[in-house]
Amino acid sequence: MESWRRNPAVFWVIGLPPTVWLLLFFLVPLALIWTLSFAELRGVIDMEVTGTLDNYARALDPLYLQIFGKSFVFAGVTTVVSLLFGFPVALAIVFAPPRWRALLLLLVILPFWTNLLIRTYALIAVLRSRGFVNFTLEWFWEQANAGLTLLGLGSYQLLGERFVPLELLYNNTAVIIGLVYVHLPFMVLPLYASLEKLDRPLIEAALDLGASQIHAFRTVVIPLALPGIISGSILVFIPALGSFLTPDLLGGTDSQMIANVIERQFKSANDWPFGSALSFLLMYLTFGALALRAFYARRSAGQGRA
């Protein structure tokens, strides 16, 4: 700290460029959008900042509140499913032989090297009616039908006359699958960072003292991995809440999230004030959820010290 005070020029040379960048390309545009949320349309493209709250009042319409609620549900389910799948993956990487860990981590971050649009279209190829999932299920259906025929049970049509492809696209399930597919690495990496510091003798001590594997996992592993669980949940929940591309390509008319509504306000409807109000209402709700989580975390920490 004293070195910075003795050489303030070094501090300004290092700190000024990122500060200017953050100001010009983040804070200023954010301030402009926030200002537009209090504007009124004066024609097709003209807007006037009047300080009105009508845009926020309109955003509280039950129709938009329902979409907000659906977005929170989608983001919450995505977070839970990512945790359920990501925890075993992170645990497997931690307990893998050292020579395999780098390769396994590379496989986790490999999707980041591919454009999200390409990955989403690849998922469409997997889930569509004539996609890889239905092709695989149809092959198993044919093999099972052939086996039943050999056993003399084919005439009973136990599996039906023909295979009916599953409808895996353009519904809520497809959106959840897509969101988990996109955000799963954001859960695995923080979990791995926490579990890597796991003190394995603690697990061995719990087992030696008579604890079952499930009990040792619940009382030793999970508490030690809690920072990674919290960090991963935040890293998954917030981007999933504002996801636009995944529900747009994989979801149906009833699977749209709030980001899709905001996009239509800025492009199709050309209603920038209302789109800005929706954007900041989403931001307020996100910050409120984070503040509530921080409050309970601080409260739990205080009770633990007590």
Q: 67 and 197 share a domain?
A: yes
Distances (CA, A) of 150 to 137, 140, 157, 163: 20, 15, 13, 19
- Quote the pLDDT of residue 174: 94
Query: Is residue 137 domain-resident?
Result: yes
112 and 155 together in one domain: no
pLDDT of res. 224: 85
Q: Is residue 277 a part of any domain in this protein?
A: yes
Domain ranges, residue 160: 133-166
The pLDDT of residue 66 is: 93
**Residue 262 placed within a domain:** yes
What pLDDT shows up at residue 164? 79
Q: Can you give the pLDDT at residue 57?
A: 93
Residue 172 pLDDT:
93
Report pLDDT for 18: 87
Q: What is the pLDDT along the chain (306 residues), one digit of tens a residue?
A: 556 566 677 777 787 888 899 999 999 999 999 999 999 988 767 888 888 999 999 999 999 999 999 999 999 999 999 999 999 999 999 988 888 988 999 999 988 888 899 999 999 999 988 888 888 888 887 777 777 666 665 544 555 567 778 888 999 999 999 999 999 999 999 999 998 887 777 777 877 777 777 877 788 888 888 889 988 999 999 999 999 999 999 998 888 899 999 999 998 888 999 999 999 999 988 888 778 777 766 776 665 555
Same-domain pairing of 203 and 275: yes
**Predicted TM-score (pTM) of this structure:** 0.85
pLDDT at 287: 85
Residue 5 falls within a domain, yes or no?
no
Give the model's pLDDT for residue 68.
Answer: 92
Domain shared by 140 and 279, yes or no: no
Q: Specify whether 112 is located in the same domain as 247.
A: yes
* Cβ-based neighbours of 265, under 8 Å, separated by 6 or more: 271, 272, 274, 275, 278
Domain count, the chain: 2
Residues 178 and 75 both lie in one domain: yes
6 belongs to a structural domain: no
Judgement on whether residues 238 and 102 belong to the same structural domain of the protein? yes
The answer to whether residue 9 sits within a structural domain is no
pLDDT of residue 290: 79
Domain end residue (candidates: 147, 166, 185): 166
